[in-house]
Amino acid sequence: MRKVMILSGAGLSAESGIRTFRDHDGLWEEYDVMKVCSAEGWEADRDLVTEFYNARRKDLADKEPNAAHRMLARLEAEYPGQILHLTQNVDDLLERAGCRELIHLHGTLTDLRCEECGAVFPVGYRSQSLEERCPECHSERVRHNVVMFGEPAPAYRHIYEAVAQSGLFVAIGTSGQVIDVVPLAREFERSILVNPKRERHITSFGDHEEYIDEAFTHFIQKKAGEASEELYGMIQGYLEG
């Protein structure tokens, strides 16, 4: 049975009105990434980091899935077990579009996590309050459920599993700067990149591509929503080919 590995990033949710990180107007232009998204920043100022994620949750509440989220949910429903979808996104727009078999590589915005017992529990779109307690062990040491720079990302093991099982790699809306998509794409005979912009490959260590799209066999230089029907057709063609 043919399988497809999909890696999505912040660009997938851009047309829903959620800001990406590294674009012009992205979140890292307003915030100092090391202050709000690193283990070091968290130890230095927990209130600042908590406020940052409270703001992200509030911002997500009124956003809606776009055509690309809906197309990916349709694929999953039509090809059960054949779509291995890993997302770097912490929003819940793919779930709201109907995705059920999704791996969140960087955690989830709509949950909190207990630092004592590790329990993960829903917070929805509301702010984390000062009175927050773990529902399991009642600890006060409660935090957002998003992976920070300088922390392990245990879900990354799914990347290697998906590479081993799939024959087509699809990367949508990622700059490739956190998860380097160039070596991943090179593992596949067929690969598709969707991004309206040509991204430079800057994590290189002995790599030769100047742009990440050069490592892919197909580059759809469009926004994810605009590319969704074309991409659906290409994935369907592979799965049924």
Residue 21 CB, shortest distance to ligand OAD, in Å, is: 3
- Return the structure tokens found at 176: 């490739």
Judged on CB neighbours under 10 Å (0-12, 13-18, 19+), 211 is middle
Which is nearer to ligand OAD, 152 or 206 (by Cβ)? Answer: 152
Q: Is 106 a catalytic residue?
A: yes
Chain residue whose CB lies nearest ligand OAD: 11
Nearest-angstrom CA–CA distance, 237 and 23: 32
Residue 222 CB, shortest distance to ligand OAD, in Å, is: 7
Cα angle value 8/10/15 (rounded, 5°): 105
Which is nearer to ligand OAD, 2 or 199 (by Cβ)? Answer: 199
Residue 15 CB, shortest distance to ligand OAD, in Å, is: 5
Q: Is the dihedral of CA 14, 19, 24, 28 positive or negative?
A: negative
Q: By the criterion CB under 6 A, which residues form the site for ligand OAD?
A: 9-11, 14-15, 20-23, 26, 37, 88, 90, 106, 146-147, 173-175, 177-178, 194-197, 199, 223-224
Nearest-angstrom CA–CA distance, 194 and 175: 10
- Return the structure tokens found at 161: 């599993």
Which is nearer to ligand OAD, 114 or 148 (by Cβ)? Answer: 148
Phi first, then psi, for residue 105 (nearest 5°) are -70, -30
Which is nearer to ligand OAD, 15 or 132 (by Cβ)? Answer: 15
Residue 28 CB, shortest distance to ligand OAD, in Å, is: 8
CB contact set of 55 (below 8 Å; sequence gap of 6+): none
Set 85, 104, 106, 144: catalytic member: 106
Residues tagged active-site: 106
